[in-house]
Amino acid sequence: MAASQPLAAETDLEGGFDRIAKGYDFLTQMNPGYRKHLRWSARRLCLPPGARVLDLCCGSGLSTQALLDVYPDLDHVVGLDASAGMLARAARRLPKGKVTLVHGDATDPAAAGVEGPFDGVMMAYGIRNVPDRDACLENILALLRPGGRVAFHEYSVADSVVQKALWNAVCFGVIAPSGIALTGVVDIWEYLRRSVNEFDGVKAFCARLERAGFVGVEERPTDGWQAHILHTFIGRRPAE
């Protein structure tokens, strides 16, 4: 077991993800359905042939790979993440030429040089981590072409006492012990548990998307132990 490496502060997510980058993919393999559910959310974007896509909070590239698996005829994918360590892992996995990786803040991708319009935006396990969700949604909407679609692949348990209890039990019993043993990082696993508990409920997040200007907003479920815990939230920019 590696020496314990707590996060320097609650806001030091980039540093925390840098420190767990080497073990992250192995941990996801222990999560039944992890890659399958990413493909489900990618498929729910319903992208046209030759689409240009933005993958926000792309991490080690698993969500980007899901997009490429579902849409082999994509024109291009831009993957953005705030963790240089995660991006280094993504660079080893993803095909050069069809994917551009950008180091930046998902709250404002344009500030990192990302330029639209995009046919679709995917954001997996990211929207609850940005400091200003409403600003992030406003900036995503601006990067979509008229009629372009967004998929948020995210945990939400606030609406159900049962699902919240299950989430916390899995975190305390499986995720945190496995993560600490593999990476030596402690605080980020507690942050993960807490951030999901504190995130919007399903209805609240759908309402937040509508306030931001998205239309056709809906939630679609996953399966397995994550049913009603992990969701795909879909919306689109109004056609002009």
pLDDT at 66 over 70: yes
Q: How far apart are CA 42 and CA 39, in angstroms?
A: 5
Q: How far apart are CA 53 and CA 58, in angstroms?
A: 12
Q: What pLDDT is attached to residue 189? A: 86
**In-domain check, residue 4:** no
CATH code for position 49: 3.40.50.150
Structural domain total, the chain: 1
Q: What pLDDT is attached to residue 186? A: 81
**In-domain check, residue 39:** yes
CB 76 within 8 A of CB 100: yes
Segments forming the whole domain that contains residue 62? 13-155+200-236
CB 113 within 8 A of CB 92: no
Q: What pLDDT is attached to residue 18? A: 73
**In-domain check, residue 168:** no
**In-domain check, residue 180:** no
In the block, tokens 């849409």 appear at 71
The H-or-E segment that residue 198 falls in is helix 187-198
**In-domain check, residue 2:** no
Residue 155: partners with Cβ closer than 8 Å, 6 or more residues away? 125, 128, 167, 196, 199, 229, 230, 231
pLDDT at 183 over 90: no
What's the mean pLDDT when you consider all of the chain? Answer: 90
**In-domain check, residue 227:** yes
Strand-pair category, 118-124 with 144-155: parallel
pLDDT at 6 over 60: no
pTM, two decimal places: 0.92
The per-residue pLDDT for range 34-52, each reduced to its tens digit, is 999 999 999 999 999 999 9
pLDDT above 70 coverage of the chain, percent: 94
